[in-house]
Structure 1
């Protein structure tokens, strides 16, 4: 008897849910005001009062890491969702249609793929003037082609399926077939790609902030926090290690979730 491992998703969904709950409840969970400065408490090591110590302005690092999760992961989820939706719709339209529509969409994707991804994001974010919104927009612009190409390939493979021919014979129009028959059937691989992309996008967004092209001070954001504490690595390492560890943990959780989803959706189930 064949058995698919959907049960293996539960622990990863639990970890992801706990991470997202911490993101949503960050202002409630934070023991201190993440923006309150107290120079008399600057660079205190981790203790019972300050679980992850304080930074050079006396701000509680633990509170800033929690609130920074909202900034980093919140912006990451929005940009990945935007890139995935736009790329999925564009790719499905290219795969379902033919002629100039497919050519125009795929050549536009090729133009974006012709540039080194992170270099293109740095250049675009710099041209737009920096800031978290512009950094997220630059990363979304470089991310959508992968979804478009995958959606196009999956859609073209579906076009020969009997249920699409039956839908055409029933009188369904192109838009109806695209929205109600094509997109729901290509969602699995695209969802796995998006889950795996969250970890990469969060690192890239933090990297842009680290370079000064993302979140600006005093915003609590993991990349900006690491940039502000890079000169304190030897004297107060907790200032940079705390947001780095939070970023590592979040990337690992979403990567594990993506791998588990890919295994669960794999048609080659265990005997």
Structure 2
């Protein structure tokens, strides 16, 4: 199964529910992004993951032998990523060095907590300094946001967060007719309750879309739309059929 954050809210909820049910009864293989780190009560026998910050690794490892059913060691295999994104390069390098140095000493949840504390105790001052510098940099460039003249590269740098690019909810353009029909039902609904239920139905078609180069949005009375393909199995994709 594939799981990431570029599905509609409804499809992602359904996939997560199906995943939890599937893990309870059948052997399965999951390919996922960072969304696997939180809010999923699933358990696997092994993991292959790119290196990340230590606390993120702890969360990912929490999906391995989660219910303590296996009596054999369950291994978390960590390998070097091709790119440091979405993490800061120097901090990721420190995390990789720490994981490599401690890999023979990680045998329990307490060991993960220990190395997480080591990681943040060592880099806390640099994180705090970087955060202060980042805040003032963003403030200087966005306090005159309506007249700001920023290149694509500057915009991306401003919008990048620890976990990736800032995303905003939008409707894939292929759903526009469906959204029009739902909006018509909202406007003709008699009761407040019916309107609220229909508004909820409308939000089911939203996808969190990253603010990156090449992603164009359009606004009209129905909401914000993104001109990208959407597939129920693979989610939102770009013009080259790559998952965003």
Instruction: Normalising by structure 1, report the TM-score.
Output: 0.25
Q: Which has the higher contact order (CA 8 A, sep 6+)?
A: 1
Instruction: Normalising by structure 2, report the TM-score.
Output: 0.27
